[in-house]
A and B are shown apart, each in its own frame.
Chain A
Amino acid sequence: MDAHVAQLQMQYRNYILSLYQQGFLDDQFTELKSLQDDGTPDFVAEVLSLFFDDCVKLVGNMARALDQTGTVDFSQVGANVHQLKGSSSSVGAKRVKGLCINFKELCEAKNYEGCVRCLQQVDIEYKTLKAKLQDMFNLEKQIVQAGGIVPQVDIN
C-alpha cells in the first residue's frame, strides 16, 4: 500500500474523529454518511450545501428581524431559529444545534441583547463548521487522487 495514501487516510481518520470529539458533529452526521452510496456519491456534499444555504438565508432573516428600530418581532426570529434548529439537527451540526436551543429560549424571553449575541455566535459557528467540512472534503479528494479509498471512520 502506498505510504502516501496511508498517511493521508490516517490524517483523514484523525480529522474526522477530532470533529466529533470537539462537538462539531454528532451521530446524525454518521447516519447521513451511511446513506451515501456509489449511486449517490455526492449525497453528503449536497445535503451540506443545502444546509449552509439555509444558514445564510435564516441568519439573514434573523439579522433583519433583530435590526428593527422599534419593536422586534421575536416570534419571527423564533420561527427562523426553529427552522435552523431543525436542519442543524438533521445534518448533525451539533454546535449549531446547541446554539439554536439557547437562541430559542432567548427569543421566548424576548431578550434582545441575548438574541443579538447568540445570532453572532450562530454566524461564526456555521461558518467555522463549513470551513472544517471543506477541509474534510479536500482530504477526501487528495486520498482519491493519490489512488486510495476514503476510509469509513468508526466513531464508536
Chain B
Amino acid sequence: MGMAAVESHFHVLAVDDSSFDRKLIEKLLQKSSCQVTTVDSGYKALEFLGIESNDPNALSTSPQEVEVNLIITDYCMPGMTGYDLLKKVKESSAFKNIPVVIMSSENVPARISRCLEEGAEEFFLKPVRMADLNKLKPHMMKTKLNNQKLEEIDKPLNVAAAAAAVEPEIKDSAEVGSKILTLQSELEPKQVHLQVAQQEEQTLGNNNKRKSMEEGLSTDRSRPRFECITTAV
C-alpha cells in the first residue's frame, strides 16, 4: 500500500460526563496508539466536530480540519445522551461516516439494539477494556483511508485527474449538483472538491480509481492538530 510512509495515528473523540471515565478511556486509547480528544458532553462533541453551530463563520475550528476517525461516547449523560449524539452525527452529511461506539455501564438489550439500529458500530459494556478497543481498529482504518483519499483529491495536480475520473461515472448529475449546492451552503468553497469525491465514493463504492492518485501521495500531511490531543506512541 502506498500509505505505508504516512503516519497512521487515529484520532478518537471520547465523550463522557465522568472525569474518571474520561481518564480511563483516554489511557486505553493512548495505549492503542490513538490521539485522543476528550469532552464532557454531547454538546461539546458536536461543537468540536463543528456540526451544531448557529453561525458557521464563528467556528473556532473549521470542520474540514477536524479529522476524527472514531467517536466513542458514554450512553448515560445529562442533557444529550450518547444515543442523541449518535443520531446527530448520523444525520450530519459531513460526519455520518465516522464510526460511533457507545459505552454503558448497564446491560440493557433494548438500549443496545436501539443504538446499533441507529448506526452505532459497537456497543461496549463498561468497564471498557483493551480487548474491546482492539475491535475498533478496522472501523477507524476505514474512515482514515477514505479521508486520505479525499485529501489526495484536494491537491491541485490531482484535481484534473479526479475530474476526469469522476465525470464519466456520475450518471445522475442533477442529484450530485443539488447535493453539492446543499453542502456548499454549509461549508467553505474549497471543500467542494472533497465533497465531489465523497459523492463519487458514495455512488460508486469503487476505490480502484484512487490507486492512480495515490502515486502522488505526499508524506507531508500538514493537517493541524489540536493542543488538547494527547499523543502517546
- Within 8 Å of chain A (Cβ to Cβ): is B105? yes
User: What is the CA–CA distance of A39 and B233 in the complex, to the nearest angstrom?
Assistant: 10
Contact B18 A83 (CB under 8 A): yes
Task: Identify the interface centre among B20, B24, B129, B232: most chain A CB within 10 Å of its CB.
Answer: B20
Once the chains bind, are A51 and B126 in contact (CB under 8 Å)? Answer: no
Contact of B130 among A35, A43, A46, A85 (CB under 8 A): A35
Contacts A35-B28, A35-B31, A86-B105 known; A28 to B127 CB distance under 8 Å? yes
Q: Which of A58-93 contact B (CB under 8 A)?
A: 82-83, 85-87, 89-91
Q: Given the complex, which residues of B lie within 8 Å of A89, measured CB to CB?
A: 105, 126-127
Taking a contact as CB atoms under 8 Å apart, the answer to whether B127 and A31 are in contact is yes
Chain A residue numbers with a CB within 8 Å of B21 are 86-87, 90
Specify which of B18, B24, B126 is in contact with A47 (CB 8 Å cutoff): B24
Contacts of B127 in A (CB 8 A): 28, 31, 89-90
Q: Mark A37-56, 1 if CB is under 8 A from B, else 0.
A: 10110010011001100100
Residue contact B126 to A86, C-beta cutoff 8 Å: yes
A89 to B27, CA, bound (A): 17
Q: Point out the residues of chain B lying under 8 angstroms from A85, CB to CB.
A: 105
**Cβ contact within 8 Å between B24 and A90:** yes
Complex alpha-carbon distance, A86 and B126, angstroms: 8
**Known interface pairs A31-B129, A31-B130, A35-B130. Does A87 touch B20 (Cβ–Cβ under 8 Å)?**
yes
Q: Are A50 and B19 in contact (CB under 8 A)?
A: yes
Q: What is the 8 Å Cβ interface bit string for chain B, positions 101-132, against chain A (1 contact, 0 not)?
A: 00001000000000000000000001101100
User: A32's closest neighbor in chain B, by CB?
Assistant: B24
A86 / chain B contacts, CB cutoff of 8 Å: 18, 21, 105, 126
In the bound complex, residues from chain B placing their C-beta under 8 Å from that of A87 are 18, 20-21
Residues of B within 8 A of A39 (CB): 232
Interface assignment of B23: CB less than 8 Å from any CB of chain A: yes
Closest approach, in angstroms, between the C-beta of A63 and any C-beta of chain B? 20
CB distance from A74 to the nearest CB of B (A): 18
Q: Which of B5-37 contact A (CB under 8 A)?
A: 18-21, 23-24, 27-28, 31
State in angstroms the CA–CA spacing of A98 and B18 once bound together.
20
Most chain-B Cβ atoms within 10 A of its Cβ — which of A34, A51, A82, A90? A90
Point out the residues of chain A lying under 8 angstroms from B28, CB to CB. Answer: 35
A91 to chain B minimum Cβ distance, whole angstroms, is 8
Nearest CB of chain B from residue A81's CB, rounded to whole Å: 12
With A39-B232, A89-B105: A47-B130 Cβ-Cβ less than 8 Å: no
Cα–Cα, bound, A78→B129 (Å): 26
Chain B residues proximal to chain A, CB less than 8 Å? 18-21, 23-24, 27-28, 31, 76, 105, 126-127, 129-130, 232
11 A–B contacts from the bound complex (CB under 8 Å): A37-B31, A47-B20, A47-B27, A50-B23, A51-B20, A86-B21, A86-B126, A87-B18, A87-B20, A89-B127, A90-B21
The 8 closest A-B pairs by CB, nearest first: A90-B127, A86-B105, A50-B20, A87-B20, A35-B27, A28-B127, A89-B127, A35-B31
